Amino acid sequence: MIKGIVLAFLAFAVFAWGDAVVKAIGHDLDPFEVTFFGYLIPLMLSPVFMKPGDKIQDLVRWKRPWLMTLRVFFISITTPLSVMAFTSLPFAEAFALLFLMPSLVTVLSIFVLKEKVRWRRGLAVCAAFIGVLIIVRPGFKELQPGHLAAIAGALCAAGGVIMGRMIGTTEKRYALIGSVFLGTTVIAGILMIPGFSWPNLNQWILLLAFAATAFVAQALFIVATTYAPADRIGAAQYSQILWALAIGALFFNEWPDALALVGIAIVVGAGLFIFAREQTLKKGTSEPLAAIVPEPKSPTPAVD
């Protein structure tokens, strides 16, 4: 169990550094182009996730095609939206907004999965949205496209989680992982055409670094789930916010003000509370499970 938890923390640290590489690329490349090259190499290497009996055709041969199509679409759109957020917002601020995802999953579970959410999780969801308002402070600071991109990314990631819960265990692990690599590469490849520009040497190095972190982090998370259940190591993803604060300060000279730190703490705290509450409910209380426990996640941000 401990080995799985340690590997999960390591995986999410690599994810965070991959997001830092994305931010380092800055505004020089189209976000869809960054996403395309960042996922192309992991797609080519995805057969390493195959188990005996798996086939390449499993990438597109699904038992529940409509739900899988929606899941792949939602997760595929999440990454370029995250790239937009990371390149235009302070690192920790973008992460905090993306961590709105667990609260959005709870909200969507009410309408899509017809689940009942009791007052404790309801208050946590409200707290998360208050935290977002403190971070963004509409009317008091400029609302940037990155804010909207981060919130939209959190919503798409939540949609991907809901679709994953509806799919259940009917699909192979390789299909769940590889289809995200494939879908993101195809969608980003099409959308990058209007704004495509050939990367220079420095940009190629950063793009390869992003692709490497995406693949390594995914592999570490998969290995972690062999030592500990995914629902036990999912909370490790919140360590990314600590990496974001440290990386933003040390490498991008970003120092969140006091109010931003309060908002970040509220959003992350609400997400952790929802996660902890899900684990308690899973152990046998009568309140329905709202489907927060993460399945093996796709690269950055994190949020499947």
What pLDDT does 228 receive? 80
Radius of gyration of the chain (CA): 18
Does residue 215 sit within a domain?
A: no
Question: What residue numbers bound the domain in which 111 lies?
Answer: 29-199+253-282
Does residue 112 sit within a domain?
A: yes
Does residue 84 sit within a domain?
A: yes
Confidence category of residue 293, pLDDT binned at 50, 70, 90: very low
Structure tokens at 144: 């940037």
Amino acid at 22: V
DSSP letters spanning 85-133: HHHHS-HHHHHHHHTTHHHHHHHHHHHTS-----HHHHHHHHHHHHHHH
What pLDDT does 290 receive? 30
- Total tally of structural domains belonging to the chain: 1
16 closest CA partner among 170, 214, 151: 214
Does residue 247 sit within a domain?
A: no
DSSP letters spanning the chain: -HHHHHHHHHHHHHHHHHHHHHHHHTTSS-HHHHHHHHHHHHHHHGGGGPPTT--GGGGT--SSHHHHHHHHHHHHHHHHHHHHHHHHS-HHHHHHHHTTHHHHHHHHHHHTS-----HHHHHHHHHHHHHHHHHH-BTTB---HHHHHHHHHHHHHHHHHHHHHHHTTSS-HHHHHHHHHHHHHHHHHHHTSTT-----HHHHHHHHHHHHHHHHHHHHHHHHHHHS-HHHHGGGGGGHHHHHHHHHHHHH-----HHHHHHHHHHHHHHHHHHHHHHHHHTT-SSPP---SPPSPPSSS---
CA dihedral 287, 291, 292, 298 (to 10 degrees): 170
121 vs 296 pLDDT, higher one: 121
**CA–CA distance, 253 with 177 (Å, rounded to integer):** 35
pLDDT, tens digit, 9 for 90 and up, residues 61-118: 999 999 999 999 999 999 999 999 999 899 999 999 998 998 898 899 989 988 887 8
**CA–CA distance, 58 with 174 (Å, rounded to integer):** 7
Q: How many residues does the chain have?
A: 304
Does residue 102 sit within a domain?
A: yes
Confidence category of residue 280, pLDDT binned at 50, 70, 90: low
pLDDT, tens digit, 9 for 90 and up, residues 167-194: 988 899 899 999 999 999 999 999 999 9
User: Distances from the Cα of 206 to the Cαs of 10, 18, 276, in angstroms?
Assistant: 20, 9, 36
What pLDDT does 286 receive? 35
pLDDT, tens digit, 9 for 90 and up, residues 219-250: 998 899 888 876 677 778 888 999 999 999 99
For residue 291, pLDDT over 70 is answered with no
For residue 284, pLDDT over 70 is answered with no
Does residue 18 sit within a domain?
A: no
Does residue 6 sit within a domain?
A: no
**CA–CA distance, 253 with 34 (Å, rounded to integer):** 23
Q: What is the pTM of this model?
A: 0.85
Does residue 227 sit within a domain?
A: no
